[in-house]
């Protein structure tokens, strides 16, 4: 774990797996989404804040490498680190691991958009200031 890395504990349930008991590939993206959401919530930017500012965050780009399989009942950790920050977007490095073993890792670019028109918009200044404090250099 590095400074600035947010960690979310997870467990693999039957609904996360395929018929062979292995986590279905798209569920790693769901685990990463949960880590991003909880990171933002931990910084004071939960859904209430986001909706009150009429903005949304959408995935613009995602790149994932699947390294090892997770299986039913595994205890996992999903991580999120802010690696890049611009006025209307951020880049997060994310990982799903079991203990010290990386199972999947990737880079996700998130865009800030206006909730009504879905057009790109700058993040509020207080949000940018707080995100800069936790951004990994």
Query: Which sequence positions are flagged as catalytic?
Result: 18
Report residue 113 as tokens: 């958009």
Question: What is the side-by-side order of every strand in the sheet holding 89-98?
Answer: 6-11, 75-86, 89-98, 101-114, 55-66
H helix intervals, 16-71: 26-42, 47-52
How far apart (Å, rounded) are the C-alpha atoms in residues 117 and 57?
Answer: 13
């Amino acid at each position: 774990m590095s400074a600035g890395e947010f960690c979310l504990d997870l467990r693999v349930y039957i609904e996360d797996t395929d018929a062979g008991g292995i986590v279905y590939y798209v569920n790693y993206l769901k685990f990463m989404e949960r880590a991003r959401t909880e990171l933002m919530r931990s910084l004071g930017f939960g859904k209430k804040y986001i909706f009150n500012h009429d903005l949304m965050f959408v995935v613009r780009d995602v790149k994932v490498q699947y390294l090892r399989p997770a299986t039913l009942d595994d205890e996992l950790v999903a991580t999120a680190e802010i690696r890049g920050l611009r006025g209307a977007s951020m880049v997060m490095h994310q990982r799903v691991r079991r203990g010290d073993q990386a199972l999947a890792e990737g880079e996700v670019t998130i865009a800030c958009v206006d909730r009504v028109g879905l057009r790109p918009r700058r993040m509020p200044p207080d949000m940018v200031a707080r995100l800069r404090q936790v951004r990994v250099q």
